Amino acid sequence: MMNLFRMLKLTTWSPPRVLVTGFALIIMIGSFLLYIPAASTNGVSLSYIDALFTAASAVCVTGLVVVDTGTHFTIFGQIVILTLIQLGGLGFMTMATLFAFMLKKRISLRERLILQEAMNQSSIEGIVRLIKKVFIYSVVIELAGAVLFTIRWAFDMPFKQAVYFGIFHSISLFNNAGFDLFGEFRSLTLYAEDPIINITAMLLIILGGIGFVVLSDLLDYKKTRRLSLHSKVVLSMTGVLIMVGAFVVFIFEYTNEATLGLYGLDGKVWTSFFQSVTPRTAGANTLDIASLRQATQFFIIILMFIGASPGSTGSGIKTTTFAILLASVFAMIRGKDDVVLFRMRLAKERILKALTITILSLVFVVSITMVLTTTEDQQFLKILFETTSAFGTVGLSMGITPELTVVGKLLICLAMFVGRLGPLTLAYALKTKKEKTLYRHPEGNLIIG
């Protein structure tokens, strides 16, 4: 791994710059593999912009597609997409570290710093142990999901196809990618009322979205009898967002004959919860998103913008950022000096970082949306939905992805890339070397509100 760094002259680069470059290289390699005729069922090369879009969507674990994955791509093309999803979900540095383990190579301090940035950790302490756990958790969870899917789909298709579908969709859902093989852009709509498919898919999405640190905390709970503040916030916010989301979808869509109105009470409950879980950045759906009422679509935009949790396979501003913002608002309203979560005071640095991430993300989404409204002949809500879905690496769409212009596809690719890495990481990668300020300006007063 260090030989690769030296060859690419990355040893003097900052960790954020290495991550940005690494993800970009993987996308470019993936786009060329999907561009060759062997990747397409008709034997004709996919247009390069569509190959680039698909590769970016896979590496950024988004799931937005311009061609149908199940019918357009050959087994070779689908395996390339699946490999890109796995690389993008776990991160190329995680995979490189696993290869280093197998080759019994020592992980240097610089590589640990890059891993720290990739896993969004506050220190390098225990980072190598965490990477080992990430691999074990991923294999076990994806294997369990594949087995459950295979057993269920063996009743609907030949066993070999059921195994292949089980593996593909388990990896896709755990990595919050949202790619599917059912054809005609249907996702999981054929199984909207199926308890096994719904429960398995939702568990994969949630486990992939809460983050590996939280998974480690939960598995160690019997021994430690405690959860970190991070795990408490992630689990509580995830639970609240899922319950509130399911309630909103159920209420707004109950009488919609194109969505929940198609099902009985059990089906209404299953589809409401699934549509609440999937904006965690998963991208799979059991209802036609374009048929939802505008109020529901806008609410899903909010859920997609919040996204998953830090150190997970998902994106968005993250649940912890949203929790800090809410806690800060409540502290201000109550006249409190400190922002407190679970009886723990948050450092000012954490609050400023949460605010910075939110503002940068909001400005980015608004900017891309404004440009797309001039390049695309689509309704504003559809464009905002598509942009937020790309930035949150969700993959839900109101059906406009294949109709995007070349400029529109490139802008959505950019949104997926920035969303997967995070606007703050990208800003750190682009900035010049940090210089320490040797002075402070005098304090001033500014009227607010």
Weakest-pLDDT range from 286-295, 307-316, 354-363, 367-376: 307-316
Judge whether 440 lies within some domain.
no
Confidence at 1, pLDDT banded by 50, 70, 90: very low
Amino acid identity of residue 243, one-letter, is M
As a 3-state breakdown, the chain gives helix, strand, coil percent values, each rounded to 5, of: 65, 0, 30
The reported pLDDT for the residue numbered 95 is 59
Over residues 185-196, mean pLDDT:
90
Taking the C-alpha atoms of residue 200 and residue 12, their distance in angstroms, rounded to an integer, is: 44
Judge whether 312 lies within some domain.
yes
Contact 138, 90 (CB under 8 A): yes
Judge whether 220 lies within some domain.
yes
Q: Is residue 94's pLDDT more than 80?
A: no
Q: Is residue 99's pLDDT more than 80?
A: no
The reported pLDDT for the residue numbered 202 is 94
Q: In which domain, by residue range, is 373 found?
A: 2-430
The reported pLDDT for the residue numbered 406 is 95
Judge whether 394 lies within some domain.
yes
The helix/strand/coil state of 345 is strand
The reported pLDDT for the residue numbered 93 is 56
Q: What percent of the chain has pLDDT over 70?
A: 84
The helix/strand/coil state of 258 is coil
Judge whether 436 lies within some domain.
no
Judge whether 118 lies within some domain.
yes
Contact 210, 307 (CB under 8 A): no
Torsion angle defined by CA atoms of residues 139, 199, 162 and 75, in that order, rounded to the nearest 10 degrees: -60
Q: What's the pLDDT tens digit per position in 235-290?
A: 999 999 999 999 999 999 999 999 998 999 999 999 999 999 999 788 889 999 99
Please choose, from the candidates 232, 238, 324, the residue with its C-alpha nearest in 3D space to the C-alpha of residue 276. 238
**Residue 109 burial (C-beta neighbours within 10 Å; 0-12, 13-18, 19+):** exposed
The reported pLDDT for the residue numbered 102 is 56
Residues 6 or more apart whose CB falls under 8 angstroms from that of 167 comprise: 82, 142, 146, 150
Contact 311, 119 (CB under 8 A): yes
Phi, psi of 177 (to 5 degrees): -90, -45
Query: How many structural domains is the chain composed of?
Result: 1
Taking the C-alpha atoms of residue 144 and residue 257, their distance in angstroms, rounded to an integer, is: 35
Judge whether 437 lies within some domain.
no
Taking the C-alpha atoms of residue 279 and residue 260, their distance in angstroms, rounded to an integer, is: 18
Confidence at 449, pLDDT banded by 50, 70, 90: low
Q: Is residue 361's pLDDT more than 90?
A: yes
Question: Is the four-CA dihedral 77, 81, 82, 83 of positive or negative sign?
Answer: positive
pLDDT greater at residue 90 or residue 71: 71
Q: Token pair of 391, please?
A: 């930035």
Judge whether 438 lies within some domain.
no
Question: Is the four-CA dihedral 306, 312, 314, 317 of positive or negative sign?
Answer: positive
Contact 413, 58 (CB under 8 A): no
Q: What's the pLDDT tens digit per position in 122-145?
A: 555 566 676 777 788 888 999 999
